[in-house]
Structure 1
């Protein structure tokens, strides 16, 4: 159970829950996942940045996700569906820090889905840019 403010809720086709059929997380719980760092450019910032966070697939495995689509939703009401296999095909990071600074809700935080776009030419396509969900606060597995 979270000890602090809720940052992320995962619901839907998941096996492991901690509140009313959902898995809810505070930042400390998310930071307990195996940490990863990714250096890449983005479509909305200048230059290469370092993103610290965890792999989306590690989170999906933790909650026992059993589906083919993940709907990612943000604080700003942005919603997009992503094929779950992308999170296993690419090292997609859920970042909580950029350039050693915590991501804030006022600027793309507290969580931002970040694709390794510099490592895979195909990820430099605008269709993938739409999947970079900042202010991420909810996932639904279907």
Structure 2
């Protein structure tokens, strides 16, 4: 299980994601980029409606993150820094290999480029993912995930 992160210190130690709600252990759980990267990573190379050409996205598999925090709800409410909110069924995470992106084309992403966290589906892998349903679930500048 994770320990809480203070949000002080080096850039990699700053809190960039809070997870709360129905999960094992302490809630809320504040995670730094370093804590997220320690979970393990995955890569998706795909086109999106928000970028030109194929982009290589690297990040944490959301199924693995949810397992690590012991999430046990039926919905993940994702809220961005600009208060955009979307609901994602956790089954999407394992069924589609969704990641919480930290890097694009090998570099960390900042707020100006839709970072530091972006929900990414492998759109090019499955034609059904190229729809408004899945595009609307792809929040960028993610700040909070609440499991209900």
TM-score bucket of the superposed structures, by smaller chain: over 0.9
Q: Does 1:139 align with 2:145?
A: yes
Provide the residue aligned with 2:24 in structure 1.
Answer: 15
Q: Distance in 1 between matches of 2:5 and 2:30?
A: 7
Question: What displacement does 1:47 show?
Answer: 0.5
Q: Distance in 1 between matches of 2:58 and 2:52?
A: 18
Provide the residue aligned with 1:6 in structure 2.
Answer: 15
Provide the residue aligned with 1:89 in structure 2.
Answer: 95
Q: Does 1:47 align with 2:53?
A: yes
Q: Distance in 2 between matches of 1:31 and 1:83?
A: 23
Provide the residue aligned with 2:75 in structure 1.
Answer: 69
Q: Does 1:113 align with 2:119?
A: yes
Alpha-carbon RMSD: 1.0
What are the ranges of 5 or more consecutive residues in structure 1 without an aligned counterpart? Answer: none
- Following TM superposition, the consecutive aligned residue runs of length 4 or more in structure 1 with deviations greater than 3 angstroms are none
Secondary structure of 2:67's partner? helix
**Larger helix share, 1 or 2:** 2
Superposed CA deviations along residues 27-49 of structure 1, whole A, max 9, x for unmatched, are: 10001011111100111111100
Count of aligned positions: 139
Q: Distance in 2 between matches of 1:102 and 1:8?
A: 15
TM-score, normalised with respect to structure 1: 0.94
What are the ranges of 5 or more consecutive residues in structure 2 without an aligned counterpart? Answer: 7-12
Question: What displacement does 1:126 show?
Answer: 1.6
Q: Distance in 2 between matches of 1:103 and 1:131?
A: 19
Question: What displacement does 1:83 show?
Answer: 1.1
Q: Distance in 1 between matches of 2:139 and 2:65?
A: 16
